[in-house]
Structure 1
Amino acid sequence: MAGNTSTPGATVTSRALALLGAFDEHHRRLTLTDLAARAGLPVPTAHRLVGELVAWGALARTPSGEYVVGRRLWDIGLLAPVQTGLRQLASPFLHDLYGATLATVHLAVRDGTEVLYLDRLSGHASVPVVSSIGSRLPMHATGVGKVLLAHAPDDVQQAVLADLPRVTAYTITQPGTLRRQLARVLRDDYATTVEEMSLGGCSVAVPIRRDGEVVAALGMVLPSLGRERPRLVGALQVASRGIGRALSASGNE
């Protein structure tokens, strides 16, 4: 929870930032009262500032009356050098991959214990895809997530393994099973899912490395993998190596 900013001398900027800082992984939707309490502000002050933040697009109000982070903050976040560099450098490879497979293509990074989708090209096949640019999804139920989780620090793996919510009937919710899958990801250098995030959708993903370090994941979503798996993995690995070389050459992380 943010510290109390209602003390004399607190600036309007600090109060507005305290309202934005009230949101975190466990507080994605907040009422005005909760926002005020977490930001350490009187409700009338919070009400006035929240109104300005909504008007600007930093916050949005849901039909139920709660507040969520607005899309404009995401748009600004995309201008950060690391994400901008990665998206720009990866874009030609994503388009090549899409052109070769006509599948939905994803570029993702780890954000805490979740997957953050930086870019997506929608495929031609009618496959349920729940991700969107800027969205966050569970690591254990997505192909790109399993890749990133396999290469994540131990504390991140432990946090994810301690909480494996079921998304579909096929979601892996047993820690032992997921650990074995992560070991295979490290061995085979790719991950797959079968209807674990959405029914009717399968995914395959590979890591993107910069100077040997996994910095992102590249994946595809299709109706099924079947005998096409080796070809799809090969296409993903060619693209991921190209992105990695581009990252190393540019100096972007």
Structure 2
Amino acid sequence: MSVAEIQPPAGNGAGAAPVQSVDRALTILELLAHDGESSVTEIASGLGVHKSTAFRLLATLETHRLVEQVNDRGRYRLGVGNLRLAGATTARLDVVTEARPVSRQLATDTGETVNITVRSDTSALYLDQQAGSSALQSHNWVGQRIPLHATSNGKVLLSELSDEDLAAALPDLPRFTDRTITSRSRLKEELTEVRRIGYALAIDELENGLTAAAAPIRNHHGDIIASMSISGPTFRLDQERLADEVPKVVAAALEVSHRLGWGRRH
């Protein structure tokens, strides 16, 4: 991505011109938002400046935690400091970035498919997916939506909503199997239990033979902004297996929450 592809907004006053160093620093953030991660050389090329200039700009942004180095490989990506400045959209991007290595490890540890979802109006939206070694199929659910009331991810995302927000998120409760919760009072009882124990289960509620367990991902304020789950066939994720695997899901979601600034220890 080049500077020419990034068009700054027009100034508010006639003849208004951006301060060059500020303009370049903001362009670096745009470049990293577009490319994911870049080296100093790539950033300098994108800006059309010398490497030393790019390095000084990156060092300043790093001081404010707006960028960070990736595993000391000389490459940079957006840093967690952006969470203080960004809204929900940017938070979703950060969730995927921070959750992906944790999701991969969870998929390895459990052998099951791991999903990251967020609430999008009246559905849960898949942001990322990692297939475990035991996955029966490799269907990619990223970008697809699922019901909130019939899934473990959805229950987590609903669990701390006010009554008003809960009603708006669930205009109706369609039935998918004979185990789908279709009563609002029963669902509220379930959500109270999710808050108490810190995770949600959905056993044969969306599809017969499908079981999932999810735990909350929180932002630096402690708000639930996403959920992390494992899913697999009910015959494999029986009560005994769930007793072993659910703590791993909870721990993984907590790790992502810490990476996003919640309960961060300095």
Structure 2 length as normaliser, TM-score? 0.59
- Output aligned runs, 1:170-181, within 5 Å: 170-181=179-190
2:198 is aligned, of 167, 170, 189, to: 189
In structure 2, what is the equivalent of residue 221 of structure 1? 231
In structure 2, what is the equivalent of residue 163 of structure 1? 172
What is the rounded CA distance, in whole Å, between the counterparts of 1:203 and 1:147 in structure 2? 12
1:226 deviation in Å? 1.0
What is the rounded CA distance, in whole Å, between the counterparts of 2:260 and 2:178 in structure 1? 38
What is the rounded CA distance, in whole Å, between the counterparts of 1:83 and 1:138 in structure 2? 19
Could you report, residue by residue, the CA deviation over 1:203-236 in whole angstroms, capped at 9, with x for unpaired residues?
Answer: 1000011232211111110222311223212101
The residue type paired with residue 142 of structure 1 is T
The answer as to 2:93 corresponding to 1:87 is no
Could you report, residue by residue, the CA deviation over 1:76-119 in whole angstroms, capped at 9, with x for unpaired residues?
Answer: xxxx6332221011000000100000101010111112101100
What is the rounded CA distance, in whole Å, between the counterparts of 2:229 and 2:199 in structure 1? 9
* Worse-superposed segment, 127-136 or 182-191: 127-136
What is the rounded CA distance, in whole Å, between the counterparts of 1:105 and 1:196 in structure 2? 18
Kept in 2: contact 1:208–1:218 (CA 8 A): yes
What is the rounded CA distance, in whole Å, between the counterparts of 2:138 and 2:147 in structure 1? 14
Moved segments of 4+, more than 4 Å: 126-131
Could you report, residue by residue, the CA deviation over 1:113-132 in whole angstroms, capped at 9, with x for unpaired residues?
Answer: 21011001123445689871
Structure 1 length as normaliser, TM-score? 0.62
In structure 2, what is the equivalent of residue 240 of structure 1? 253
Quote the sequence identity (%).
Answer: 32
Kept in 2: contact 1:162–1:175 (CA 8 A): no
Unaligned ranges ≥5, structure 1: 1-79
Could you report, residue by residue, the CA deviation over 1:36-72 in whole angstroms, capped at 9, with x for unpaired residues?
Answer: xxxxxxxxxxxxxxxxxxxxxxxxxxxxxxxxxxxxx
Q: Max radius of gyration: which structure?
A: 2
SS of the counterpart of 2:178? coil
The answer as to 2:213 corresponding to 1:200 is no
Unaligned ranges ≥5, structure 2: 1-88
1:179 deviation in Å? 1.2
Count of residue pairs the alignment pairs up = 171
Kept in 2: contact 1:127–1:201 (CA 8 A): no
What is the rounded CA distance, in whole Å, between the counterparts of 1:128 and 1:199 in structure 2? 17
Kept in 1: contact 2:107–2:133 (CA 8 A): no
Kept in 1: contact 2:111–2:135 (CA 8 A): no
The residue type paired with residue 203 of structure 1 is A
Could you report, residue by residue, the CA deviation over 1:7-38 in whole angstroms, capped at 9, with x for unpaired residues?
Answer: xxxxxxxxxxxxxxxxxxxxxxxxxxxxxxxx
- Output aligned runs, 1:93-108, within 5 Å: 93-108=102-117
- Output aligned runs, 1:1-253, within 5 Å: 81-125=90-134, 132-211=141-220, 212-223=222-233, 224-248=237-261
